[in-house]
Amino acid sequence: MPLRHVPDVPFCCFSAIRAALLIQRWYRQYVARLEMRRRCTWNIFQSIEYAGEQDQIKLYHFFGFLMDHFTPASSERNLISHIFRENEVCRDADWERYFCYKDIEVPDSYCGPHLAFPMTFCGVSKLMEAFKLKQQLHARYVLQILGETWRLLRILPNINHVSVCHTKEITICGDLHGQLEDLLLIFYKNGLPSCEKPYVFNGDFVDRGKNSLEILLILFGFLLVYPNEVHLNRGNHEDHIVNLRYGFTKEVLGKYRVHGKKILKLLQKIFSWLPLATVINHKVLVVHGGISDSTDLDMVARMDRHRVREASSSSQIRVPPPPGALADQHLGPGSEEQHPASLPPQPAHRRRPAELLGGGRAEGEAQAGWVRSDLQRSEDIVNLLWSDPMPQNGCISNEVRGGGCYWGPDVTEEVLGKHNLQLLIRSHECKQDGYEFCHNRRVLTIFSASNYYEVGSNRGYQASRTCRELTLRQRSTRSALRALRQQLFVHKSDLVGAFQEFDPNNTGVISLRHWATATERVLKLGLPWRVLRPQLINRAQHGMVDYQQWIRELSITDIMETMYKNHSNLETIFRIIDTDHSGLISFEEFRQTWKLLSSHLKMEISDKAITDLAQSMDFNKDGSIDINEFMEAFRLVDLSTHA
């Protein structure tokens, strides 16, 4: 066979190939840098979010500390005792009267949807259309929906067991967090709930977003119409203490100024009756947070879930005393809290069983086993709502969030095997693509709220890709760095102390390695600080950081720094102290707030400094501070850091 002649390859072809290889290498490096930036951005957002949740748990422990250490007659104790108080009405007949809506008139000027009960598919569809048009449902109808929902939830088990034939699909939705557009998108792509299209909504319907109440009303409406096809699990944000911090309380009071307080009270009751889990075809467990090495679904099924009102911390769960156990206790003459059932008990983990039950030592010892059992069940509920999976085997406390646990693949295998289950579906964690498998594909995380941290940060379940992905990621990166700079600012004093440990001669300069070590030691966010240094520090020469110059750029007065550091905590405390939800606190209440905070932070703040600060925040000089003046002061402080 004759050999074919191979023509000479022109030099220009080699140049073209070389250029193509260079372009390919450049593009791969560019994509790698983008991926590294994406991971850093994601870590920043998630670390700050979990730090906020940890602060919420610490704040709840803070209130427990106050209840332990302030005397029963002190004004500080009375100021916050109502958050530990049992609901003023507890019998079903009393709640029926509390849900009553008949004395609320719907005026002729009302242009929103009019609903008929019992609820129908047509009524829920009308409700959805009204919410799309930004219309608000009248308070009378809101109370009617809440009342019907409460009556239905009370007869539901702790764990819903759902059977779906092989020809029918069931849709499982993760966190929605008040983002109505994501719920409507899911309905658009999958169809509305019906006998042929069952749904499981896996908790965290509220907080953060602007339409939490609308989401609840839609979901409650479909639950009333299709109680066998629509299933709602409780999430860690279905908790009135968490709602104080993350926006739902503020949303309801802003939309319903007259009846908002009653609506919140009823929602608190409803949240405590939401089921804890759903099991599909005896093979798939759906729960909001996760499991632990002590999870026993049979025990969960027997719990009195409605007794767990605040799912923020297992140590704060109250054990109801036996009748008459507190009959001889009271807060003293003139106190409003004369009824023994409304006494704010101390946190369970700080009290002996006898004290917890209010009886004598013998009675307490007789009930000790029951108390420990009840506290264990409460801890199990917290684990179901707050836990996260980890790649390592074992089960450890979730110190990052401050509640629940981290569980490993071995725990997944053990719990699923024990109950003859094949898959665990959970939510609770934001994932970039809206879902993520782990533990050998035995655990699936689903998150339905898109753009959770920032526009472009993540896709929700069913969210579509867009051609603006790279631009959105860059915007998300800038937002993450801005949030990180705020965290550095609020820990300025702690950072100075950490830097000085590496600067014994007080030169004001430390190495980049020491800067990164000290910053991580203070913030504990687990971030690659040396990689982030160019975005956080403008000037660094020869691997050295002028930390004194950097700190001067973050400088502000000590008391204002303390306030900014505890910004979210203070807003939560403000709303708790404002018991009538009027949005106003007096100078005296402001002083008491600062005394509470300073006792928790172990810092001294003089009465004069607090008074001067209160007067400076009272912009209209009316002798009281409203929430807008309170938050405006923080906004001005924040702007000053960028001036």
Domain ranges for the chain, please list them: 558-641
Asked whether the predicted pLDDT for residue 328 surpasses 50, the reply is no
* 138: β partners: none
Q: Which of 237, 240, 288, 600 is catalytic?
A: 237
Distances (CA, A) of 164 to 117, 197, 284, 356, 418: 29, 10, 11, 45, 22
Of all residues in the chain, what percent carry a pLDDT higher than 70?
Answer: 63
Distances (CA, A) of 204 to 16, 113, 303: 55, 26, 21
Nearest residue to 172 via CA among 297, 285, 276: 285
Asked whether the predicted pLDDT for residue 33 surpasses 90, the reply is no
C-alpha 411/C-alpha 394 separation (Å) is 7
Distance of CA 441 to the CA centre of its chain: 26
442, 423 in Cβ contact below 8 A?
yes
pLDDT at 385: 94
Confidence grade of residue 24 (pLDDT, cut at 50, 70, 90): confident
What does the pLDDT look like over 220-270, one tens digit per residue?
999 999 999 999 999 999 988 888 888 898 899 899 988 998 899 899 899
Q: Which CATH architecture has domain 558-641?
A: Orthogonal Bundle (1.10)
Tell me the average pLDDT across 158-170. 88
Give burial (CB, 10 Å; 0-12/13-18/19+) of 403. buried
DSSP E strands: which ranges in 189-329? 199-201, 230-232, 277-280, 284-287
298, 435 in Cβ contact below 8 A?
no
pLDDT at 327: 33
Q: Which residues contact 552 (CB under 8 A, 6 or more apart)?
A: none
Residues 592, 594, 598, 603: is their CA dihedral positive or negative?
negative
pLDDT at 23: 83
Question: How crowded is residue 186: how many other Cβ atoms within 10 Å of its Cβ?
Answer: 21
Nearest residue to 385 via CA among 204, 241, 249, 208: 204
Nearest residue to 178 via CA among 132, 212, 217: 212
DSSP β-ladder status, 509-511 and 544-546: antiparallel
Between residues 199 and 335, the one the model is more confident about: 199
What does the pLDDT look like over 519-530, one tens digit per residue?
888 887 777 777
HSE-up of residue 52 (Cα within 13 Å, Cβ side): 17
Tell me the average pLDDT across 75-85. 53
237 catalytic per annotation: yes
Residues 617, 619, 623, 626: is their CA dihedral positive or negative?
negative
Between residues 274 and 511, the one the model is more confident about: 274
C-alpha 443/C-alpha 389 separation (Å) is 8
For the sheet with 277-280, list strands across it.
Answer: 159-162, 277-280, 284-287, 423-426, 443-446, 435-438
Asked whether the predicted pLDDT for residue 433 surpasses 60, the reply is yes
Confidence grade of residue 621 (pLDDT, cut at 50, 70, 90): confident
What does the pLDDT look like over 372-410, one tens digit per residue?
455 666 788 889 999 999 999 999 988 877 788 999 999
pLDDT at 215: 97
DSSP β-ladder status, 540-541 and 509-511: unpaired
pLDDT at 293: 93
C-alpha 127/C-alpha 609 separation (Å) is 51
Query: Structure tokens of 526?
Result: 């687990």
Nearest residue to 337 via CA among 579, 49, 563, 595: 579
44, 527 in Cβ contact below 8 A?
yes
Query: Structure tokens of 87?
Result: 């609901």
For residue 113, say if its preceding peptide bond is cis, omega within 30 degrees of 0: no
- Cα angle, residue 376 at apex, residues 373 and 380 outer, rounded to 5°: 140
Asked whether the predicted pLDDT for residue 306 surpasses 60, the reply is yes
Least confident range from 159-163, 496-500, 538-542, 573-577: namely 573-577
Between residues 465 and 179, the one the model is more confident about: 179
Between residues 277 and 491, the one the model is more confident about: 277
Give the three-state DSSP class for 405. strand
pLDDT at 431: 85
Residue 67 sits at φ, ψ, to 5 deg, of -65, -25
Give the three-state DSSP class for 470. helix
Least confident range from 50-54, 316-320, 433-437, 484-488: namely 316-320
pLDDT at 65: 58
Long-range contacts, 108-116 (Cβ 8 Å, 24+): 110/138, 111/135, 112/136, 112/137, 112/138, 113/137, 113/141, 114/141, 115/141, 115/144, 115/145
C-alpha 170/C-alpha 199 separation (Å) is 6
Question: How crowded is residue 75: how many other Cβ atoms within 10 Å of its Cβ?
Answer: 11
- In the chain the first and final C-alpha atoms are separated, in Å, by 82
Distances (CA, A) of 26 to 33, 37, 169: 11, 16, 45
pLDDT at 374: 57
Least confident range from 31-45, 93-107, 205-219: namely 31-45
Q: Which residues contact 601 (CB under 8 A, 6 or more apart)?
A: 562, 566
Q: What pTM did the predictor assign? A: 0.66
Of all residues in the chain, what percent carry a pLDDT higher than 90?
Answer: 33
Asked whether the predicted pLDDT for residue 198 surpasses 90, the reply is yes
pLDDT at 312: 55
Give the three-state DSSP class for 407. strand
Query: Structure tokens of 323?
Result: 């009748």
pLDDT at 6: 52
* 277: β partners: 159, 287
Between residues 212 and 101, the one the model is more confident about: 212
Tell me the average pLDDT across 139-157. 95
Asked whether the predicted pLDDT for residue 25 surpasses 70, the reply is yes
pLDDT at 378: 76
Residue with tokens 């729960």, as numbered in its chain: 287
Least confident range from 61-65, 149-153, 352-356, 537-541: namely 352-356
DSSP 80-104: HGGGTSPPS--SHHHHHHHT--TT-
pLDDT at 372: 44
Helix axes 587-601, 567-577, angle to 10 degrees: 130
Confidence grade of residue 194 (pLDDT, cut at 50, 70, 90): very high
Average pLDDT, the chain: 75
Query: Structure tokens of 316?
Result: 């704060």
pLDDT at 523: 81
Asked whether the predicted pLDDT for residue 368 surpasses 50, the reply is no
Nearest residue to 288 via CA among 302, 276, 301: 276
Nearest residue to 387 via CA among 469, 498, 311, 486: 311
Tell me the three-class secondary structure of 211-222, residue by residue.
Answer: CHHHHHHHHHHH
DSSP type of residue 178: T
Query: Structure tokens of 79?
Result: 């100021």
